[in-house]
Amino acid sequence: MSRRILPLLIALLSLLWLSPAASDELPTPTGEVLLTISGDIARPNVGDEARFDREMLEAIAPTEVRTRTPWHADDGRYEGPLLRKVLAAAGVRSEQVWVRALNDYEAEIPLAELEEYDVILAMRRNGSPMQIREFGPLFVLYPFDDHPELLNETVRFRSVWHVVHIHAP
């Protein structure tokens, strides 16, 4: 096998291994669990839940969004997986999800909205992991600057920070 093809083949196989579409099984987290998804899901990895650590989340459709938010004075560069891809990795089968924060605040988000907009589960802001005091470790972030129509009360309530749990009824 050519020396040029071997690294390419290894990279491709690595991507397939990390992709939830490559297997019906979701790997078990090895680090601290940041997110638990429960309810009507097809790919649980711990009991009847899908649990994700930082490494697992970072491997899913990494996306960058540059935007201002209603809660920050300046614009920021946010990084994290597309929320629709995280839900797909767990095999969510419902038409909406309930997102819950550390303080038990909950918001309902229709999956159709996640298909229409590139909503991310932000894990980093300006290159640094988001800490709890800075809306982290996970923050449902809409691309506000790209879509001014998102600057409304409904979407602000759906922009949950301190996310720990998602339930698919």
Report the pLDDT averaged over residues 70-87. Answer: 95
**Nearest 5 degrees, angle CA 103-CA 106-CA 110?**
155
Report the pLDDT averaged over residues 14-40. Answer: 77
- Give this prediction's pTM: 0.85
| pLDDT attached to residue 91 | 98
CATH match for 25-168 among 3.40.640.10, 3.20.20.140, 3.30.450.40, 3.90.420.10: 3.90.420.10
Quote the CA–CA distance of 166 and 76 in Å, as a whole number. 25
| pLDDT attached to residue 13 | 45
Query: What is the percentage of the chain residues whose pLDDT exceeds 70?
Result: 86
| pLDDT attached to residue 25 | 86
* E strand or H helix at 88: helix 83-90
Give the pLDDT band (50/70/90) at residue 5.
low
10 or 103, which is more confident? 103
Give the pLDDT band (50/70/90) at residue 73.
confident
Count H helices and E strands in the chain, helices first: 5, 11
